Chains A and B, each alone.
Chain A
Amino acid sequence: MSMKATTRQVDSITVVDLSGRITLGEGCSQLRDLIRDLLAKGHNKLLLNLAEVTYIDSSGIGELVSGFTAVSNHGGQLKLLNLTKKVHDLLQITKLLTVFDVHDDEAKAIASFDKGTAA
């Protein structure tokens, strides 16, 4: 099962609902292209909802890090929502929970973004 992504706008925040596998190859390249396109369109407040992500490997983790850096370099914020236990454990042992702002409540996640003009 490859990765699927849908986006929706909540106030100035772009919520990206991801599902499937984020692994080396198609899944990673899809995520990379999606974040690049969103940034190109001026969306720099991204909330990635990982609730339906069934599998993520080291390359997928790297893609999340790459997205985090790209969004930060555009003056924005990338946050994570609804980690499964497996993804949570992976981010914990790789110490990336110290890097990402992680939420399990969408409304609170939305409210946590800096208020600014960029969308």
Chain B
Amino acid sequence: MKADTSVVEVVYESDLKNVEAAEEIVHRVCTSLGFDEEEQHKIGMAVHESMINAIWHGNKNDPGKRVWLQFRIFDDRLEIRIRDQGAGFDMSRIPHPLEPENLLRVSGRGIFLIRSFMDDFQVNRIPAGGTEVTMTKRRQPHTDLTQGGLHREHEGHNTSG
């Protein structure tokens, strides 16, 4: 993981156990930025769902494929990008989970929850292969980034699981 005052990035192997590791990073970043407990939970769930989409649905649990989790910290917002090496998905083919005929469907709520919990959500196909989602949460400006250790330098990639 490397970090400066504006970017934190972690690279994971495609293993579901890394979802909890990502949640821990989210917690640390969000605490540093002054998000309250409820907002932290929402951001954490959005990352949780996106990591599962990337590992499980995108990379098909292939340990040879990677997932990139990146936090971009701005004065007015936190931007989180998650990129996989999968074949992508068609958002228009995901049934809306709130339609009466879909209420008892077992799956299909992940993207809906992400949209509900974040202020913006975008999905982009990467020409070289893979999918990148970008989720944004607004924040109070001028939070002191020195609180919580975001100035610390980190090295290496967390690919060992």
- Complex contact B106–A94 (CB within 8 A): no
Q: Does A24 contact B (CB under 8 A)?
A: yes
Contact string against A for B residues 106-120, beta-carbon threshold 8 Å, 1 for contact and 0 otherwise: 110110110010000
Q: Which B residue's beta carbon lies closest to that of A85?
A: B38
Distance of A58 Cα from B19 Cα, bound (Å): 14
Within 8 A of A (CB), among B17-70: 19, 41, 45, 48-49, 52, 56
- Complex contact B116–A58 (CB within 8 A): no
- Complex contact B103–A99 (CB within 8 A): yes
- Complex contact B49–A57 (CB within 8 A): yes
Which of B16, B41, B97, B113 sits near A24, CB closer than 8 Å? B16
Residues on B with C-beta less than 8 A from A68 are 104
- Complex contact A57–B116 (CB within 8 A): no
Q: Nearest chain A CB to B121's CB is how many angstroms away? A: 14
- Complex contact B56–A99 (CB within 8 A): no
A24-B56, A25-B16, A86-B41 known; A58 and B104 CB under 8 Å? no
Task: Give chain B's interface residues, CB within 8 Å of chain A.
Answer: 16, 19, 41, 45, 48-49, 52, 56, 97-98, 103-107, 109-110, 112-113, 116
Query: Could you list some 10 contacts between A and B, CB below 8 A?
Result: A23-B48, A58-B109, A59-B110, A62-B105, A65-B105, A66-B106, A90-B113, A94-B98, A94-B109, A95-B97
